[in-house]
Structure 1
Amino acid sequence: MRSTRTRWLYAGGSAVACTAVIAAGTMAANAAMADRPGAPAIGAGSAAPVPSASGAPQRPDPNPPKPTPLGAIIDGGIAAREGTWVFYGVPVAEKALPKVHFGVMAGRRLPSGAVTADVMTNEVTGSDRAPGFHAVEGTMATEAGATPAFGYYVGPADRITARANGRTVTAHQARWSEDASVVVFWFDPATKGVGGLAAYDRGGRKLPTGNAGVGVG
């Protein structure tokens, strides 16, 4: 199965929306991953051309509409290069994904109070409300600094853990205001190589795993 998604790329502080085609699995929007091997460099104040259907490059809209947050914005309590990391739901409407209606955006609340849209991730296989983990995105380097690894869990998760560098780490988490069954979780950006995700209820019982694969970019 293949499906489309909208990526949010950032160059010199300008958001550029473009369409990409990817194989099914966790999908995420990434912000100018300049240190990724083979990644094209994007100069400040400019945006990479997007190929048209005919193959000719076209300059994307430098000021696309930013997604409207669904529900309350969650304060991640983690400092970014500028501002602090936040998380919020955003709508998804893709014909190829009939059972996916929302994703989770990692952004920053700037000193001015404005909220950015930096990295988006959403489910691309089955229902976005199936029990278990969904749309887990690993940390990566962006213009905003190292992003937190994050995703969401559907179910009564009271504690979410992962394995990273040979040790068990516990995620920060908060319930989404639009649907209390959805738990948004994230890790400190310094936590690298997140994997082996597990969720536990209030009684310490392990919950269904779902789609616990971790994507990057």
Structure 2
Amino acid sequence: MNELERLRHAMRATERPDAVLDLDIVIRKGRRLRTRRRVGAAAAATLAVGLASAVVLVAVDASGPGTGVPSAERPPPVAVAPPSVGVSPTTPEPTPPPTAARDVPAPKTLGQVIDSGVRYGVDQRVFYVVQVSVPGVPKVTIGLAAGRRAPDGFLTTDILVNDVEGADRSAGFHQIGYDESSSTTPVPTFGYFVGPAHRVIGTVDGRQVDARLARWSFDKEVVIFWFDPTELKPGQRLDGIVAQDARGRRL
């Protein structure tokens, strides 16, 4: 006889006229029965959880390597985000500067690279002559470049100017380079003069501005000049420009 039957038997005993109901026994048996039912329910729930966990583990193992299941038939892995509780925010790593310019070969310079004295961080503003080819103009073979030189010597060309007619060594001024952009590395106005120039003077808004000079190492008759960007804003057009010899005579 189980507990439930014993409880029912005790309660039926009260139906006889001569029976005496023992409430303590009924309450005690009923409490024991409820306790066992609770324990049984908890055990069943635990068993259900264990079975569910076993099913999950089997499913994960079946999709792993060595099961013989073709990879194309396996479901894609699911990424589960970890809980964010207790995770402090971190500072993202700084984005490295772009290196696409390094993929472009550095220009082959003709002669020495001229340091202008202008700096952009650790980079130097430099000028250098490079070889060019203009279709139908055989006497134009050089161009003047304004670039930047990194500490490791790598050159980046910003502006290249050259003649498009005539001869690149004819006496006088040749193409002048103006910065048409508004970049963080503005290019000073620059150019070259062929002849015994000792001074180059630009005129803008009625005032005269002296340029800085350097001679090309391959040909001393080629005088490279540029204007200090603090005295002549890059991109600002000159109203006029002249060259003078050592005696101050206009060339």
Q: Which bin holds the TM-score, normalised by the shorter protein? A: 0.5 to 0.7
How much does 1:182 deviate?
Answer: 0.2
C-alpha contact (below 8 Å) 1:159/1:171 kept by paired residues: yes
Whole-Å Cα distance in 1 between the matches of residues 189 and 203 of structure 2?
A: 12
C-alpha contact (below 8 Å) 1:134/1:151 kept by paired residues: yes
Whole-Å Cα distance in 1 between the matches of residues 159 and 190 of structure 2?
A: 10
- Counting helix residues as a fraction of each chain, which structure ranks higher? 2
What is the aligned counterpart of 2:115 among 72, 75, 86? 75
C-alpha contact (below 8 Å) 1:88/1:105 kept by paired residues: yes
Match of 2:159 in 1: 119
- Counting strand residues as a fraction of each chain, which structure ranks higher? 1
What is the aligned counterpart of 2:147 among 107, 126, 132? 107
What is the aligned counterpart of 2:229 among 166, 189, 203? 189
Whole-Å Cα distance in 2 between the matches of residues 195 and 128 of structure 1?
A: 23
C-alpha contact (below 8 Å) 2:161/2:175 kept by paired residues: yes
Name the aligned partner's letter for residue 168 of structure 1.
Answer: Q
Match of 1:65 in 2: 105
How many residue pairs match? The answer is 151
How much does 1:130 deviate?
Answer: 0.6
Asked if 1:202 corresponds to 2:219, the answer is no
How much does 1:93 deviate?
Answer: 1.9
Q: Taking structure 1 as reference, are residues 197 and 13 closer, same or farther at Cα in structure 2, changes over 3 Å only?
A: farther
Whole-Å Cα distance in 1 between the matches of residues 137 and 105 of structure 2?
A: 21
Whole-Å Cα distance in 2 between the matches of residues 164 and 13 of structure 1?
A: 38
Whole-Å Cα distance in 1 between the matches of residues 165 and 100 of structure 2?
A: 30
User: Alignment RMSD, CA only?
Assistant: 2.2
Query: Runs of at least 4 residues of structure 1 off by over 4 A?
Result: none
TM-score by length of 1: 0.63
How much does 1:116 deviate?
Answer: 1.7
Moved more, 119-128 or 105-114: 105-114
Identity %: 43
Match of 1:171 in 2: 211
C-alpha contact (below 8 Å) 1:88/1:104 kept by paired residues: yes
How much does 1:126 deviate?
Answer: 0.2
Asked if 1:137 corresponds to 2:177, the answer is yes
Name the aligned partner's letter for residue 201 of structure 1.
Answer: D
Match of 1:146 in 2: 186
Which structure is richer in relative contact order (CA contacts within 8 A, separation 6 or more)? 1
Q: Taking structure 1 as reference, are residues 67 and 111 closer, same or farther at Cα in structure 2, changes over 3 Å only?
A: closer
TM-score by length of 2: 0.55
Whole-Å Cα distance in 2 between the matches of residues 83 and 65 of structure 1?
A: 18
How much does 1:97 deviate?
Answer: 2.0
Matched position secondary structure for 1:93: coil
Whole-Å Cα distance in 1 between the matches of residues 151 and 116 of structure 2?
A: 15
**1:50-88: CA deviation from partner (whole Å, max 9, x where unpaired):** xxxxxxxxxxxx944332000000010112365121000
Matched position secondary structure for 1:126: coil
Asked if 1:14 corresponds to 2:100, the answer is yes
